[in-house]
């Protein structure tokens, strides 16, 4: 049975004052396992918890307004602007999960190691993970897929499609490695109408391809690999072909490629985005 821990919860509350009280009481908190970073003890400032609580309240209010059983929520945990990307991480949010009214369910790397786990987490914690900023995007799916997705997520760890051998730059379709975006894509593919109930990872990815998914290509020059300190426990270049490694154009499952695929294939019914705390009338780049 795969490990499916709940991360320690910070009470979401209904006011920023509650969030600040939590920060004062908690004081120094260990950083949780998060995508691609190491765990170190750090002081979480009340202002950061308050900002995360404000984002959580904004997102929860939007989720309550539509009241779908599940949706995708993206955040900015790493600055990927050099690669032309905005959002670095995406997870699911589930209504009336055993862990809470709106619960984030996502895959996280364990402190820069070669392992990952699936986590359930409140929205305040989801937006407290040492993020670059509090930008957020919600993607709602068509009702039947959202229903199937919520049922699957509430049943975890059953049929989790989780491969704990983590690789930050996992090759799309790799069965040896997985990262957070690959898990999201494969889980989505397993909820397609034509997918079998107990789809394995390989079949899930092929189903996504048949449905129109195409990976992004991220340029990582050889010189940066050698001189830029990219060798670490959670990065495995050998998951990619020699041709890819020599050319430096790495196919990857990104937040952008997931959302573009869902939109292009007709699975999206609505999206909302917040930048610098303000709702965007027109959605920006991914």
Q: Look up the pTM and report it.
A: 0.86
pLDDT of residue 29: 28
Q: Which two tokens stand for residue 255?
A: 């937040």
pLDDT of residue 281: 67
Q: Which two tokens stand for residue 43?
A: 């002081």
pLDDT of residue 148: 96
Q: Which residues of the chain have pLDDT under 50?
A: 1-2, 7-34, 36, 228
pLDDT of residue 5: 56
pLDDT of residue 9: 46
As a whole number of angstroms, the distance between CA 75 and CA 137 comes to 7
pLDDT of residue 21: 26
pLDDT of residue 286: 86
pLDDT of residue 42: 65
pLDDT of residue 17: 30
Largest CA distance in the chain: 54
């Amino acid at each position: 049975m795969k490990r499916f821990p709940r991360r320690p919860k910070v009470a979401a509350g209904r006011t920023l004052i509650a969030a600040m009280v939590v920060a004062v009481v908690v004081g120094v908190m260990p950083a949780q396992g998060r995508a691609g970073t190491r765990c170190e003890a750090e002081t979480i400032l009340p202002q950061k918890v308050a900002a995360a609580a404000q984002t959580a309240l904004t997102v929860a209010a939007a989720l309550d307004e539509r009241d779908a059983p599940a949706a995708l929520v993206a955040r900015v945990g790493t600055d990927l602007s050099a690669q032309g990307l905005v959002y670095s991480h995406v997870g699911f949010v589930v209504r009336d999960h055993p862990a809470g009214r709106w619960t984030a369910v996502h895959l996280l790397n364990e402190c820069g190691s070669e392992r990952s786990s699936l986590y359930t987490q409140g929205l305040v914690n989801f937006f407290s993970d040492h993020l670059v900023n509090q930008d957020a995007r919600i993607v709602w799916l068509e009702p039947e897929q959202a229903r199937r997705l919520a049922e699957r997520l509430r049943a975890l760890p059953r049929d989790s499609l989780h491969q704990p051998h983590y690789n930050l730059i996992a090759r799309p379709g790799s069965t040896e490695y997985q990262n957070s975006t690959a898990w999201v894509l494969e889980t989505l593919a397993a909820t397609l109408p034509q997918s079998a109930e107990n789809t394995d990872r390989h079949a899930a990815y092929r189903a996504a391809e048949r449905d129109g998914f195409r990976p992004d290509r991220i340029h990582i020059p050889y010189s940066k690999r050698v001189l830029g300190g990219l060798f670490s426990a959670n990065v495995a270049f050998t998951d990619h072909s020699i041709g890819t490694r020599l050319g430096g154009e790495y196919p990857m499952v990104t937040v952008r490629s997931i959302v573009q695929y869902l939109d292009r294939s007709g699975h999206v019914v609505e999206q909302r985005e917040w930048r610098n705390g303000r709702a965007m009338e027109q959605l920006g780049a991914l």
